[in-house]
Amino acid sequence: MAVLNVNIDHVATVRQARKTDEPDPVWAAAECELAGANGITIHLRQDRRHICDRDVRLLKETVACKLNLEMCMAEPIVKIAEEIRPDQVTLVPEKRAELTTEGGLDCLKYKRRLAEVVKRMHKKRILVSTFIAPETEQIIASAQTGCDAIELHTGMYANAVSQRAVKKRLNQLQTGKNLAMENKLVVHAGHGLTYRNIEGVARITNLCEFNIGHSIIARAVFVGIRQATAEMIRLIDKFGCSS
Ligand code: PXP
């Protein structure tokens, strides 16, 4: 059954809105863990618009469950990962003007760099996942470069409106997951997942990890992050059990 990593970037977004010291993502991570989250996900962006270096260092010291660092493959960021050694890195593309991570990583185009980063992360015993669209060539390139896992981009599923489109996107995710497993990759999923749309992906068997941020932090504004996390875990368990 899949487990939940809470992406706490937007706790830091609120802090950075005033460039002060609250709310603290370190505190948020502890609350998520107490609610039963299996992992904490943070994205250290090059522009440091939310999570900053201090957060990564302190979270490495304080998170008892899995620490998943989302990052691009720019050299200064790769060096920080080597130094801090999170449990896992999820490699993402990064554009300066984007509101959030847009497409998946192009593992074909950057295959050589990806292979090098995988090797360096493995040397530090860090697992490597690539955030990719559910496309054959991306999955194969992730496997060929020695990645441990992939995170299937669920944004297209989340944005689908008609029943037909939703079904099409779920089929693509299912097919991508099967191919990844045939290639010995562990399969995660994330982006755009909410309390309303989690059911469709939670019913896909053998998805191991969901990375969910915005929806949980938005709910946390009203009910607190511990309850918001627990509610999402309950849904994942409920729909995951019935598959
Ligand atoms: N997975 C990846 C790779 C992401 O970049 C993000 C956004 O930071 C998420 C999951 C979480 O997406 P959302 O905030 O829409 O839940």
Per domain, the residue ranges of the chain are 3-241
Q: For ligand 1, what atom is nearest to the CA of residue 212?
A: 16
Q: Which residues of the chain have pLDDT under 70?
A: 96-97, 100-102, 242-243
What contacts 154, CB < 8 A, 6 or more positions away? 173, 189, 190, 191, 192, 193, 201
E-strand ranges in 37-141 read 39-43, 66-71, 88-91, 127-132
Q: Would you state the pLDDT for residue 103?
A: 83
Q: Would you state the pLDDT for residue 145?
A: 98
Q: For ligand 1, what atom is nearest to the CA of residue 191?
A: 12
Cα–Cα distance measured from residue 110 to residue 121, given in angstroms and rounded to the nearest whole number? 16
E-strand ranges in 53-193 read 66-71, 88-91, 127-132, 149-153, 186-190
What the block records as the tokens of 240 is 């995951």
Active-site residue list:
43, 70, 191
Q: For a substitution probing ligand 1, which of 32, 42, 69, 70 has the most ligand atoms within 8 Å of its CB?
A: 70
Q: Would you state the pLDDT for residue 13?
A: 98
CATH number of 3-241: 3.20.20.70
